[in-house]
A and B are shown apart, each in its own frame.
Chain A
Amino acid sequence: MDARPIEEKDSWFKRGWWLLALIIASFLAPMVLSEFYLTVLIEALVMSLMALSFNLLFGYMGQLSFGQAAFYGLGGYTVAMLVTKAHFNFWLSIVAGVLVAALVGLVVGIFCVRLRGIYFAVLTLAFGQLIFTIVFKWHDFTGGDDGIQGVFPPELLKSPTAYYYFILIVFLVSAFILWKIIHSPFGQTVVAMRENSERTEFLGIHLAKYQLIAFVIAAAFCGLAGAIWVPFYRSVAPSYLTWIKSGEPVMAAILGGPSLFFGPVLGMFVMTFFHAWVLGFTVYWPVVMGALILAIIFFLPGGILGFAQEKLKQRKERNNQAAKK
C-alpha cells in the first residue's frame, strides 16, 4: 500500500499516452452520454477529487483518516450558506468553501498529528463525528437535519453539460496540483516520513509540522470537492459529513490501489458506478461497502492497480529469466 513519487522514466512515458487519451475522451463525453450517465460521471469526478486528496494522507503519508467527509461537508455547507443566505458571489463562495475546510483542517489537524497510526485514525473519526454533530444540531445556523436547499449555480453553469466542463476542469487542475505536490521535495519528505519516520526525524524534519501541512492540503481539496458538488446537486445535508461518507474515499483508494497516483480515481469510478447499480435494488449500501472492504483486504491487497502492477512485474521477471537461458 505504499506509493513512491519518483517513478522510473520509461513507465512514466508509457503512462503518458493513455492519460492523454482519457483526457480527450472526457472532454468529448457530454456528446455521447445521456444526462443520467453524465450525472454519475460528475459525481465520480467530484468524489475522485476527494479520494485523491485522501490518498495524499494514506498512500503517500501512510496514515488513515476516517474524517475526511467533515471537510467535504464543510466546503459544501459554506457554499450553500453563502449563496442562499448571503447571496454571495458563486466563485468567491467556492474559494470560501476551500478556505473554511482548510482552516478547520488546521484546527483539527493540530490535535490529530500529535499522535500517529491507530491513534491518529481514531481521532480523525472522532473529530469528524464532532463536526457532523455540530452541523446536525445547530438548526438555526445550518438548518439541522433539513439541510439547505435551493443552491443554484450562476446562469452560465446551469446546464448539466456546462457544469460538467466546470467540474472536469477543476478536477484536472486539482489533480495536476496534487501531482506536483507529491513529486516535489515536500512530497518526497512525506513519503520518507512513512518509510522511516525515525530516520526522517533524525534528518532534521519536524514530523508533526509536515503531517499537519499534508492534513490541511487534504482537507482543502476535500472542501473543494464538496464546494463544487453542492451547486450541482442544488442542496446539502448533514449526511454529507457522516462516518459512512468518510469511508468512501478510503474504499476507493484501497480498491483502485493506494500505491499509484491514479489508483484512487480508478477505484472511485468503479465504486460510483457500482454504488449507482446497487442502489437500484437495495438501500443496504453500507453492508455491501463493508463486504467489499473485507474482500479487498483479503483478495486484492494492492487494489486493482497494485494487482496489475504485481502481475506485470512477475511477467517481466519471467521474461528476464527466459532471456537469461
Chain B
Amino acid sequence: MSFDILFSQFMSGIARGALLFLVASGLSLTFGVLRVLNFAHGSLYMLGAFLSYSIWNFLLMPVLGFYLAAVIAALIMGGVGVIIEFGLLRRLYARGWPEQLLATYAIILIITDLVKWAWGGQFLSIPRPKPFTGAVLLFDFPFPSYNFFIILLGLGLVVFLWWLVYKTRLGDIIRAAAQDREMVSALGIPIPWLFTWIFVLGAAIAGLSGAVTAPFGSVALGMDIEIIIECFAVVVIGGMGSLPGTLLGSFIVGQVYAFGILLKPELALAFIFMVMAVVLIIRPWGIFGRPER
C-alpha cells in the first residue's frame, strides 16, 4: 500500500466529501431553520441529475452545455422547491413531525415514479466537461481533474454559505430562527417567506449537486435513496442542523467511503454505518449537535 495510492484515495475521499457536502448542506439548512427533515431531499438531487442530462442533451453546446444545463436544472429544482414548500409543507408546519415525515416520504414515492415514467430505467451519464476531461498526476497516480472541479464547487459552497449565514442580514435571521422561531416572528419578520426561500435554496443546491454528479456516470433510479442514506450518516455524525457539523461529517463519510472502497468495495456502505453506529453510542446527537437537554 504505497503512499501515492493512499494519497490518491484520500483525494478521492475529499472529492466524495465535497459532493456529499453539496447535497447534505441543503438538508442541514432546511432542518436547522424549518425543523423539517426533508426525506425527499435525495429525490430532488436525483431529479436534478436527470433534468440536467436532458437539458444537456437538448442544448448540445460543446463546452458551455454542461454548465448551463447544471444551472438550469438547479433553477428548475428551486421551482420544484417552491411548489413543495408552498403547496405542501406549509400546511403541515402546524401538524406534528410524523405528518411531515410521511408527506416527504410520499414525495419520494411520487418523484421516483415520475423519473421512472419520464426517463425509464436507464443508466445515464454525461461526459466530463471541458476543461476537466483528463487526469492530473498526484505522485504518479492519475486523479480525474473533474474531481477537482467538485472539490472547488464544494469549497465555493462553503464560502457562499459562510458568507450567507454569518455576513448577511438574512443569515442573522436564519441563525435567530434556528434558535427561537417565535421571537423572530414577533420581530415582524415574515417567517413563511423565510421558510420558502430556505427550502428553495436547499432544493436548488440539491439539483445542482445532482447535475454535477452526472459525469460520474451514475444517474439512475435508486440514487435518491442512496444519497439520502449517506446524507443521514453525514448529519448523524456531524450533528443535525449544524453546517460546520455537516462539513465535518461530509469529510469523514467521504474518507470512510474512499478507504472502504480500497479495502472491500461491497462493504463501503457498511463501513459508513459502523462509524455512524459508533457516533450513536458515544454521542447520539452528533459531533457538533446539541443534546436534547
Contact = CB atoms under 8 A, between A and B. Distances in A.
A20 to B, nearest CB: 33
Contact of A115 (B88, B101, B113, B284): B284
A290 B232 contact: no
5 contacts: A126-B232, A287-B117, A290-B110, A293-B106, A298-B91
Return the 10 tightest CB-CB contacts between A and B, nearest first: A290-B109, A287-B113, A290-B110, A293-B106, A290-B106, A286-B109, A114-B284, A286-B113, A284-B113, A118-B37
A297 B98 CA distance: 10
Contacts of A243: 225
Contacts of A216: none
Contacts of A1: 98
B103 A294 contact: yes
A134 interface: yes
B261 interface: no
Interface in B162-191: none
B76 interface: no
Contact of B280 (A66, A114, A290, A291): A114
A138 B39 CA distance: 27
Most buried by B among A117, A118, A244, A291: A118
B269 interface: yes
Given A114-B281, A122-B232, A294-B88, A133 B103 contact: no
Interface of B: 37, 39, 88, 91-92, 95, 97-99, 101-103, 105-110, 112-114, 116-117, 225, 228-229, 232-233, 236, 240, 266, 269-270, 273, 276-277, 280-281, 284-285
B105 A293 contact: yes
Contacts of B232: 122-123, 125-126
B276 to A, nearest CB: 8
A298 B110 CA distance: 16
A130 B276 CA distance: 12
Interface string A117-146: 111011101110110011001100000000
B106 A250 contact: no
